[in-house]
């Protein structure tokens, strides 16, 4: 006896079940879950993963190991005779994709989906290693890189009553970077925008963390940013930068790096810019902001190289 039409027995944003079934197992035909969701008791003929490896896997060993464990647990979901379909981007030479069988790579040059002009724009808008990972599907290990992977914490309350710094962008290819700090706990976020276009979001973050003084350099804007922050009722301290940027980053951020704990919702692009930093880096707004804030709070630290 044929079926005249499809009937949706269940249809939600994460689950679909219809009358087109070959068995009565009592399970829905399609079920969508986040990588961190409970999979106890779940079974499937086809398991599809999409982007379970992401930018956080690039900057955090703990995140890479967590993703690997979650992927291994999915093996118990697949029914006998079933199969996996994995799609995504490799972000690190030791991420979960290295354990997936029959990997086929299709980079930006093979697919034909992005024009040469678009590729050039993308290349100019991010660091070389980010472009290589995301579009060329390869890893660049820069022998001159100053920093290794970050260490994370989930203790947001540890930032309360801390301080912050804004490295402002006023156009061009620069980023606006915001860094918060209390003792050795830090948070960072990056915007590829003019500071005026992200200042409201920065103020919201600052208030949510219950932070105090914001440090703002006045070299490029003659005190404009400090005045804008002051208008919004926040404590601000402007300063005139005289130190060489590379020496500042090597002096303060590098010396503190092994002791720093980054909040686990720190912007991965912010940390990627730090991990990509060299003396000749095209983008250095995040490491510059972090180093400036560390210097402001630890003035007695000596240069360690």
Count how many Cα atoms sit within 13 Å of the Cα of residue 157 in the half-sphere of its side chain. 0
Indicate yes or no: pTM above 0.75.
no
Please provide the size of the chain in residues: 305
Closest CA to 165 of 222, 123, 225: 225
Q: Are residues 159 and 275 in the same domain?
A: yes
CA–CA gap between residue 84 and residue 104 (Å, rounded) = 14
Say yes or no: 132 and 162 in one domain.
Answer: no
Does 214 map to a domain? Answer: yes
Whether 55 contacts 45, CB under 8 Å: no
Q: Which residue has the tokens 């219809």?
A: 18
Do residue 111 and residue 235 come from a single domain? no
Burial of 57 (0-12, 13-18, 19+ CB in 10 A): buried
158 in the same domain as 280: yes
**Cα(128)–Cα(283) distance, rounded to whole angstroms?**
10
Count of domains observed in the chain: 3
290 DSSP assignment: H
SS3 for 48? strand
The reply to whether 259 and 197 lie within a common domain is yes
Contact 293, 179 (CB under 8 A): yes
302 located within any domain = no
Mean pLDDT per 10-residue interval, the chain, length 305 residues: 72 84 74 83 89 85 90 88 90 86 87 86 74 78 71 93 95 91 96 94 96 92 91 93 91 92 91 85 91 86 35
- CA-to-CA dists, residue 28 to 3, 11, 70, 71, 292, angstroms: 18, 10, 22, 22, 54
Is 127 within 8 Å of 283 (Cβ atoms)? yes
Give the tens place of pLDDT for each residue, 165-195.
999 999 878 899 999 999 999 999 999 999 9
Q: Are residues 133 and 99 in the same domain?
A: no
Last residue of a domain, one of 141, 166, 200: 141
Q: Determine, yes or no, domain membership for 81.
A: yes
From residue 26, alpha-carbon distances to 23, 74, 285 in Å are: 8, 20, 54
| Residue range of the domain that includes 70 | 8-105
Long-range (24+ apart) CB contacts under 8 A made by 253-256 are: 253/147, 253/287, 253/290, 253/291, 253/294, 254/146, 254/147, 254/304, 254/305, 255/301, 255/302, 255/303, 255/304, 256/184, 256/294, 256/298, 256/301
Which pairs count as long-range contacts for 254-258, CB under 8 Å and 24+ apart, including other chains?
254/146, 254/147, 254/304, 254/305, 255/301, 255/302, 255/303, 255/304, 256/184, 256/294, 256/298, 256/301, 257/147, 257/148
The CB density around residue 268, as the number of other CB atoms within 10 Å, is 22
């Amino acid at each position: 006896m044929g079926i005249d039409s499809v009937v949706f027995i269940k249809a939600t944003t994460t689950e679909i079940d219809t009358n087109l079934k070959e068995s009565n197992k009592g399970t829905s035909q399609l079920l969508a879950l986040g990588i961190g969701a409970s999979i106890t008791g779940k079974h499937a003929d086809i398991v599809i993963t999409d982007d379970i490896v992401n930018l956080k896997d690039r900057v955090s060993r703990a995140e890479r190991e967590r993703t690997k464990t979650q992927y291994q647990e999915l093996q118990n979901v697949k029914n006998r005779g079933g199969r996996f379909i994995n799609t995504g981007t490799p972000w690190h030479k030791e991420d979960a994709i290295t354990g997936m069988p029959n990997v086929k790579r299709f980079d930006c040059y093979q697919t034909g989906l992005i024009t040469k002009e678009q590729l050039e724009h993308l290349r100019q808008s991010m660091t070389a290693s980010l472009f290589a990972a995301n579009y060329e599907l390869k890893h660049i290990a820069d022998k001159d890189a100053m920093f290794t992977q970050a260490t994370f914490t989930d203790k947001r309350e540890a930032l309360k009553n801390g301080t912050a710094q804004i490295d402002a962008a006023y156009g061009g290819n620069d980023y606006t970077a915001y860094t918060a700090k209390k003792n050795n706990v830090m948070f960072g976020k990056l915007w590829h925008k003019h500071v005026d276009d992200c200042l409201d979001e920065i103020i919201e973050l600052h208030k949510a963390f219950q932070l105090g003084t914001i440090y703002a350099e006045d070299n490029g804007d003659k005190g404009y940013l400090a005045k804008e922050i002051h208008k919004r009722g926040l404590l601000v301290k402007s300063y005139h930068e005289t130190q060489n940027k590379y020496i500042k980053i090597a002096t303060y951020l590098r010396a503190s790096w092994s002791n720093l704990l980054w909040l686990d919702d720190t912007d991965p692009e912010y940390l990627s810019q730090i991990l990509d930093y060299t003396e000749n880096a095209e983008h250095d707004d995040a490491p510059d902001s972090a180093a400036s804030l560390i210097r402001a709070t630890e003035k007695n630290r000596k240069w360690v190289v």
